[in-house]
Amino acid sequence: MESIIVTYDLNGSGKKYDDLISKIKTYSKWAHINESVWFFKSDDSCAVIRDELMNYLDEDDSLFVAKLSASAAWHNTICSGQFLIDNL
């Protein structure tokens, strides 16, 4: 499985993140990195993941999906650094 990073902005007021977050949590070994940044494992392409997540966004929202293919560094993330070391 590939390491995936997803970041998003829900741009309208009163947006609910619950459905989007629930969908992200269906992927393998997910972690909440920062407020609108998530990590997980998947065999799907970035375009497939984008299309799946777009079902939970409005047209004015933004979304970025990428495969992590190199090393990473972090500080003060929401999830534990050990989780990232073990799962990147």
Written as six digits, the tokens of 32 are 């909440």
Q: Strand, coil or helix: what is 29? A: strand
Output the pTM of the full model.
0.84
Tens digit of each residue's pLDDT (9 = 90 or more) over 41-62 = 999 999 999 999 999 998 889 9
For β-strands 62-68 and 28-34, DSSP reports them as unpaired
Please, which residues bridge with residue 63 across strands?
8
Least Cα distance to 21 among 40, 45, 42, 2 occurs for: 40
Mean pLDDT on 27-42: 92
Please give the domain boundaries of the chain with CATH numbers for all domains.
2-72 (3.30.70.240)
